[in-house]
Amino acid sequence: MDVRLDRFATLYLVSPCLRFAAREQSSVPILMYHSISDQDESNVHPYYRTSTSPKMFVSQLEYLHQSGYRTCNLEEALNQLQLSSRTAAKSVIITFDDGYSDFYRRAFPVLSQYGFGATVFLPTAYIGDSPLQFKGRDCLTWAEVRELSNYGILFGSHTVSHPQLRELSVRAINEEIIRSKLTIEEKLGRAVDSFAYPFAFPQAEADFAKMLRDSLSQAGYQNGVCTIIGRAHRNSDRFFMERLPINSWDDTRLFKAKLKGGYDWLQALQGASKFIRARRVSSD
């Protein structure tokens, strides 16, 4: 049986303490989805799963709707946070990585039902005129991307080939982030402002983060997200904003706790773990 220590700590240790904490600064939860499907992930620990069942997705969006949340995009959230706007308290950003085709079939109809928007990050090498596969799953076609864009869905870059960027040269990194941006802009006839970092973000590597931040800025990106856990706040790096991973294990209690900040404690643990691994690699 899978043990969810993160769930236990969030629901029974952290969340109760938040009731007595002083009022925190404004923050916006950015939800990180991947696939909306009943994909069998029984061989993957719940923490690392990337599929959200259609039934659970409906339940999560219904909760957002009933709780009075409104969706916004990354730029709107950044503006709200800088102004310490009260509207930030009921704002949420819904993002999808990898451009899977089940977004078109399973996610978009539910988003439309509740009047919610979303941003989908595309690895452009896997988006074609006919369905291509990434990690064994069909991806969106350009025709579907154009149709979704016409209905208000936003698209951002998830690089070209979804590589481990930190293992590439600066030149290769620039090729990934520039070419993907230009491809999406050419296909949609619209500017691409947002970038999602593929794989786990190496937050302990300050020099790499600075290089990538400079490259994204020079390429014309305005904002971005990564896999650092937590909600975005006023001091978040606009190119590497924190997100909350969501999958089928996020029942209403855990989902609500994540929205309210009960899951943010994992950011410190996540950062410490990456720092220790980085030190070990550098000392080898």
71 φ/ψ angles, rounded to the nearest 5 degrees: -85, 150
β-pair partners for 61: none
The average pLDDT across 181-203 equals 97
Q: What is the pLDDT of residue 1?
A: 44
The answer on pLDDT for 135 being more than 90 is yes
- In 10 A of CB 25, how many CB atoms? 10
pLDDT tens for each residue of 233-263? 999 999 999 999 999 999 999 999 999 999 9
DSSP state letters, 27-50? EE-EEEE-EES----TTS-GGG--
pTM for the model: 0.94
User: To which H or E segment does residue 236 belong?
Assistant: none
Classify domain 27-283 by CATH number.
Answer: 3.20.20.370
Tell me the average pLDDT of the chain.
Answer: 93
pLDDT tens for each residue of 36-71? 999 999 999 898 999 999 999 999 999 999 999 999
d(CA 26, CA 33): 23
The answer on pLDDT for 278 being more than 90 is no
